Structure 1
Amino acid sequence: MQDITALEKRITAALERIGKGVDRMASAPKAPAPAAPPPAPAPAPDLALRAQLEDEKTLVAQLQDRIRVLKERESQGSLQEKIERLTQQLDVQGLELQRMRRTAASLRDQLAHLRQAQAAGVTEPHLINKAMLAELEALRATRMTEMAEMDEILAALEPHLAEAGNA
């Protein structure tokens, strides 16, 4: 970035020099037109200024290319950061999903124990119904969580996938 700033200052200074040279040429007192044609060596300063102008234009084009490349690198870096952040979020959500699955498995085990106890005549049927309802609700919650997580992931990845498809 310091190189770009230095080059910008250099270009600005060169353009100012060129502008002053053009002003000097424009403000030079004009002599009355002689009857003879003007001498040929007069355009030499004009050619030098034009050459400097062309050099500066070339330098400006090179600087613009450099700036474009730097901006592309910067945007790629920010995309990489976004991908890493989304990956971390996905990891956290995966851990949460595993926890919910363990909870659902635990509920199923508890139901199995309740059924065994009911078969032995130890529990009441309404307790089994409540446990079954709790299991169904846990399964619904797990399913809804999975769907919400997938929607979040899809929403976060769609712009990146579209960008990759366009590239």
Structure 2
Amino acid sequence: MSEIGELESRITAALDRIRQGLDAQMSGAPEQADDAALEAERATSAQLTEDLQAMQTAYDSVTAQFEAQKAQMALLDAELQSLRASNVQLRDMNTALREAVTEGLAPELLDKAIAAEVEALHAQRSADAAEIDAILTELTPLIEEPANAAG
């Protein structure tokens, strides 16, 4: 970001020099601006403007990537919370099932325990998928970076 500020100040200074040269030419002052110097300043100004735009584009890209990763981490967190809740429910059902087995089997408790276990497995799978997506999101720029650096 400091480079952007530096480029902005250089562009502003170049534009001020161009403006002063044009004012001197327009007023007919004895100090005529050198056309070659003026063109050089214009070229410098154009290059600095392009550099500033390139840096802004890179900054916007990094910002968008950060926001995408932040959203993916929020999704992963939600999946993990769901997994934790399912595991708590599974433990409670298994405790009730153990108690029922010691006192005599109750079929509805067995059905609830199996349903809770299936839900916990689905939640685990969703959490694993979200975690894999988060890891892939982190690794993708690293994998693509050598290809960009070589070309």
CA distance in 1, matches of 2:87, 2:127: 16
Secondary structure of the equivalent of 2:103? coil
| 2:116 corresponding residue in structure 1 | 134
Give yes or no for the alignment of 1:124 onto 2:106: yes
TM-score normalised to the size of structure 2?
0.61
- Seen in structure 2, the aligned counterparts of structure 1 residues 162 and 156 have a Cα distance that, compared at 3 Å, is same
- Seen in structure 2, the aligned counterparts of structure 1 residues 55 and 163 have a Cα distance that, compared at 3 Å, is farther
- Seen in structure 2, the aligned counterparts of structure 1 residues 144 and 102 have a Cα distance that, compared at 3 Å, is closer
| 1:36 corresponding residue in structure 2 | none
Q: Aligned to 1:64, which of 12, 35, 46? A: 46
Give yes or no for the alignment of 1:74 onto 2:63: no
| 2:126 corresponding residue in structure 1 | 144
Choose between structure 1 and 2: higher helix proportion. Answer: 2
What CA deviation, in whole Å up to 9, does each residue of 1:51-94 have, x standing for no partner? 94432332222112211221233223223322432343244234
The higher radius of gyration belongs to: 1
CA-CA distance at 1:154 after TM superposition: 4.0
CA distance in 2, matches of 1:102, 1:147: 15
Structure 1 alignment gaps of length 5 or more? 18-48
Alignment size in residue pairs: 136
TM-score normalised to the size of structure 1?
0.56
Structure 2 alignment gaps of length 5 or more? 1-7, 26-31
| 1:103 corresponding residue in structure 2 | 85
Secondary structure of the equivalent of 1:115? helix
